[in-house]
Structure 1
Amino acid sequence: MDTSFVKSPEVQKLLDRAAGIEESGGNPRLKAIMRDLIESAMTVIVKHDVSESEFWLAVKYLAEGSGELGLIVPGIGLEHFIDLFLDAKDAQAGRVGGTPRTIEGPLYVAGAPLVEGDAALTVDPDEGAHTLYMSGAVTGPDGEPVENAIVHVWHANSQGWYSHFDPTGEQTPFNNRRRIKLGKDGRYAFHSKQPSGYSVPPGGATDQLMQALGRHGNRPAHVHFFIEAPGYRTLTTQINFGDDPFAADDFAFGTREGLLPVPNRQGDAAYIAFDFQLQRASDAEDEGFSARARAAAEPVDAA
């Protein structure tokens, strides 16, 4: 059947009613978005002649896999698309330059210890893991040091597990997580046990979808960052290890040009020098974080 069926008077009337278009209450913006979203879903159903069984299997998948939506969204490219969309809006507004943004991922935990100086991220034993040393500067668009910046940094351990989300229960709160308060020179430094790449949970909803699409669910070794400072736009980004075999084939589309440093490996240590450049904030909203739901834990004293 042709997709023009969706434009039939009966279906269009159904869309208006479903989205509350004719009702006086509610949020007009949400109504418009919801109507377009439902119409798009209807168009896909007609275009691909989705059967009743296929439709309800999809509903079952979404219901059972809801706990992995934080992985499914980047896995199908939607989180990366948001970055591309924001980049395009910036370019249209003449806002260019700065370190590229990239996906946040679902594994940030608020409340990490706030420290100064050369921060030690790893507090748990991680036998056999090499040491990672990372340092650099945070500057503004004119190259000026950014004073009083806070660098939020988090990454997995050498087994690919993040504290707070580790199913083994072996990591202490905020292992490999810190907030680093910078001084007037805008420089940061930390050391930790080097993270490894990892795959999505085997047999889980994301893995099932990736296999059905003929794709893998692997990420390269990487380190996440938020960088916030008064007067500057908060940056959400991550660096991916440029020598990781999945650096060019990240299932979550998190790798971007300019975010792929190759560690300088010397014996049992790896060194990364990486500078961040922030954009100036145009309003208070620029200095904040998105409204994304994030995990939180009780703050603890830094080790």
Structure 2
Amino acid sequence: MSQTLINPLELEKLLAISCGITTDSGDDRFKAILTQLLGDVCRTIDKFDVTDEEFWQAVNYLNVLGERKEVALLAAGLGLEHFLDMRADAKAEAEGTAGGTPRTIEGPLYVANAPLAEGYTRMDDGTDEGEPMWLYGRVTDPQGNPVAGAVVDIWHANTLGNYSFFDRSQSEYNLRRRIKTGADGCYAVRSILPSGYGCPPDGPTQALLNQLGRHGNRPAHIHFFVSAPGCKHLTTQINLNGDLWLWDDFAFATREELIADPVSVTDKALARERDMPSPHTEVKFDFQLVPSKESREQEKIKRERVLG
């Protein structure tokens, strides 16, 4: 059923009072945003004749969503986090500041303060018998010059699709590291090939996706923060080519420019040079940072994160 029963003027009066429009105190921008948001909710209830029971089911759902700490996961699954990237890309294009490695979503599983190394480090603790991976590349400016002192912050899942800290069976900071580039702008890590994952099957995010007829799967991917003085902070992730879910990521994070090709390395001399087993898988990805116009652009956005 689609109908409208409420007088628009009566709704406007209710919103003006509930959102503080009739008072002089408070934050005007916040009031305007909340008025728009609540008005859209009220008009949706009216238009679709949402029942009281359906309304309270929705309220209960939000309670469960918060209790399970899946709000950020649902934001990704509904495309809201990707929408922020779409707007940021459009703004950069309009301002003439587009360029560099494309951004994409952060996701909800970052943990701050991972161990910091110079140039190279090992990310895995050796307990996961996954495919050994050599991940490496360079950080450059738009002219191709190396960016020394850039911090490449990397995190990814294990072969079961689980992340340390959230998966208590893993050691602290397993598959989480920060690497500072040297004069050549290079970084390299030894790790294992990650697996994709799905939303918790018993969780509220998957329950909502089920109602939409959607899956909750992500392809294998590796997350990055890349930062350097004078450069815009980059939040991105790369996908591994050949994954079943590569172009059907429930979180909308896949971008053509962010797909890396895993390569099997059988050269024993190269493996010895890297202190890697032979064979192993090589993943190469270079990052290009662009200059920042304001100091705030050099920092990652403020949001609630786990502090390790």
TM-score (norm 1): 0.93
Cross-structure match for 1:110 = 112
Cross-structure match for 1:16 = 16
Q: What fraction of aligned residue pairs are identical, expressed as a percent?
A: 47
Cα deviation for residue 90 of structure 1 reads 0.7
1:152-197 CA-partner distances (Å, limit 9, x unpaired): 000011111100000xx22111000011011121111111011111
Code of the aligned partner of 2:56? W
Cross-structure match for 1:155 = 156
Structure-1 separation of matches of 2:285 and 2:7: 53
Structure-2 separation of matches of 1:219 and 1:208: 16
Cα deviation for residue 19 of structure 1 reads 0.9
Change over 3 Å in CA distance of 1:146–1:112 after alignment to 2: same
1:46-101 CA-partner distances (Å, limit 9, x unpaired): 22221211111111111111121121110010000000011111111111111110
Structure-2 separation of matches of 1:269 and 1:254: 27
Cross-structure match for 1:98 = 100
Structure-2 separation of matches of 1:190 and 1:48: 53
Code of the aligned partner of 1:132? M
Cross-structure match for 2:275 = none
Instruction: Specify the SS of the correspondent of 2:70.
Output: helix
Instruction: Specify the SS of the correspondent of 2:258.
Output: coil
Structure-1 separation of matches of 2:6 and 2:241: 47
Match of 1:272 among 275, 278, 283: 283
Structure 2 unmatched ranges of 5 or more: 267-278
User: In angstroms, what is the RMSD of aligned CA positions?
Assistant: 1.4
Structure-2 separation of matches of 1:283 and 1:121: 33
Q: What aligned pairs does 1:133-282 form with structure 2 within 5 A after superposition?
A: 133-166=134-167, 169-266=168-265, 268-282=279-293
Structure 1 unmatched ranges of 5 or more: 298-303
Structure-1 separation of matches of 2:185 and 2:197: 32
Cα deviation for residue 2 of structure 1 reads 4.6
Contact between 1:6 and 1:39, CA under 8 Å: does it hold in 2? Answer: no
Cross-structure match for 2:42 = 42
Match of 1:82 among 55, 80, 84: 84
Q: Does 1:120 align with 2:122?
A: yes
Q: Does 1:291 align with 2:302?
A: yes
Change over 3 Å in CA distance of 1:6–1:190 after alignment to 2: farther
Instruction: Specify the SS of the correspondent of 2:45.
Output: helix
Structure-2 separation of matches of 1:282 and 1:2: 49
